[in-house]
Amino acid sequence: MDSNNPNGPGCYTQHGVSGYGVAAKLSRKEPMNEVFVKGMAEKMMLTIADKCMELGARCIGHIKCHLRTEAGTIKADTIGTAHGSYSTGTLTEPVKDLYIAINSIIQGIPEDAVKAATLEGMHEMADQRGISVVKEKEHTYFDEFDFVASKKDYIKQLEEQLTAGDNQDSDQEK
């Protein structure tokens, strides 16, 4: 693909913007406190941004994630490495399992490249922090309004989504 062609394959607007979303269940044997989870999420957003830029992205539109646990919700995002990453939310206690939904909106590279960068960034940060990616599944765009269900109900919905049909057992296949 010509990186100067904003209408190349995989780009869905005249501005050459591509996106990718993934939902995953992450697990760690040792409990993860709020500081650990926020740090991991912020670094994950920056790692995905770096990988997109390495693949030729012209601009990071927005890379964000929501992490849902029994102990609370964390949100992290970035608009590019030069801008840093930020997180909000709280956990009332350390957790071993969390559900993450990541959306990457990028200008200048096709959807396949955004997907590769997003998945590589998620797996790289999980591996570095001793976290297993238990399951992952592509998913559509989300926003905070997607998290209006109770924690217990939403976690049940995510578990059902990850066990339905064409899910992948990530770490077990490696």
Q: What is the pLDDT along the chain (174 residues), one digit of tens a residue?
A: 344 444 444 445 556 788 899 999 999 999 999 999 999 999 999 999 999 999 999 999 999 999 999 999 999 999 998 999 999 999 999 999 999 999 999 999 999 999 999 999 999 999 999 999 999 998 765 544 444 455 566 667 667 767 775 444 554 444
DSSP state letter for 125:
H
In the numeric block, which tokens belong to residue 134?
């238990």
Q: Has this prediction a pTM greater than 0.85?
A: no
Of the candidates 111, 49, 99, 107, the residue with the CA atom closest to the CA atom of residue 75: 99
Enumerate domains of the chain plus CATH numbers. 17-173 (3.30.70.360)
Tell me the C-alpha to C-alpha distance, in Å, between residue 18 and each of 9, 52, 59, 75. Answer: 10, 11, 11, 22
